[in-house]
Amino acid sequence: MSTDVVPNRWERRKARTRAALVRAAQSFIAAGKVNVPILELTQAADVGMGSFYNHFESKEDLFQAAVADALDGWGVALDTLTAGLDDPAHVFAQSFRLTGRLHRRHPDLSKVLLRNGVDLARSDTGLAPRARRDVEAAVRARRFAACDVDLAMVIVTGAMIHLGRLLHDQPDRDDGAATDHVAEDLLHMFGLPEGEARDICRRPLPDLDPPP
């Protein structure tokens, strides 16, 4: 065993500890327990109390990291899946349709989003900046009508988060159909004719792997 195995093993262990804390925080946020003591977080993560401060300055710091981690994981996956598409309206619609389906597929992370969505919508990581980029690309390509992108994002992010609430409240509702319907309404709002908006929102979707 060479000597450089030791730091590597230590690094891997450090990363595992951080990931365990992030996952524990994600569970607590999903359960609405944002005022849980740090001790309870470290116990749930099965790590020592001292480890916490090697990674995070405060509980709020951990919670922010937990939410950002989940959303960025989804964002990277969405980017991969839209990489081959030519039409920016299609890119926007596909990412919206896949994101809407995550509410049921990952209910705990969805509830993180519901509890923090208004603030996350203005984060510079995660899903919101990617949706903004897609809207801007579609406007530049004249697929969407010229618009105030800040205001468009108000509608897009608000719809995505409130859609999650509806899908949790109405467990019998078809989440795919509901999401596609909202996406279609948004495309129409952005200036696409109704028929074309419907067509784009009925195209087959790629599989979205679970977030990392």
Using CB under 8 A, list all residues that contact a copy of itself: 35, 114-115, 117-119, 121-122, 147-148, 150-155, 157-163, 165-166, 169-170, 173, 178, 181-182, 185-186, 188-189
Phi first, then psi, for residue 133 (nearest 5°) are: -55, -40
Q: Which is nearer to a copy of itself, 86 or 148 (CB)?
A: 148
Minimum distance from residue 94 beta carbon to a copy of itself (Å): 19
CB–CB of 66/28 below 8 Å? Answer: no
Minimum distance from residue 73 beta carbon to a copy of itself (Å): 22
CA distances from 93 to 11, 36, 39, 108 (A): 40, 38, 43, 24
Q: Which is nearer to a copy of itself, 21 or 159 (CB)?
A: 159
Q: Which is nearer to a copy of itself, 18 or 92 (CB)?
A: 92
Q: Which is nearer to a copy of itself, 81 or 120 (CB)?
A: 120
Minimum distance from residue 197 beta carbon to a copy of itself (Å): 10
Q: Which is nearer to a copy of itself, 90 or 111 (CB)?
A: 111
Closest to 79 in 3D by CA, of 111, 114, 126: 126
CB–CB of 130/79 below 8 Å? Answer: yes
Minimum distance from residue 156 beta carbon to a copy of itself (Å): 9
Q: How many CA atoms lie within 13 A of 133 on its CB side?
A: 13
Minimum distance from residue 88 beta carbon to a copy of itself (Å): 19
Q: Which is nearer to a copy of itself, 67 or 152 (CB)?
A: 152
User: Hey, what amino acid is at 80?
Assistant: T
Minimum distance from residue 30 beta carbon to a copy of itself (Å): 14
CB–CB of 113/164 below 8 Å? Answer: yes
CA distances from 33 to 30, 103, 109, 115, 160 (A): 7, 19, 14, 11, 23
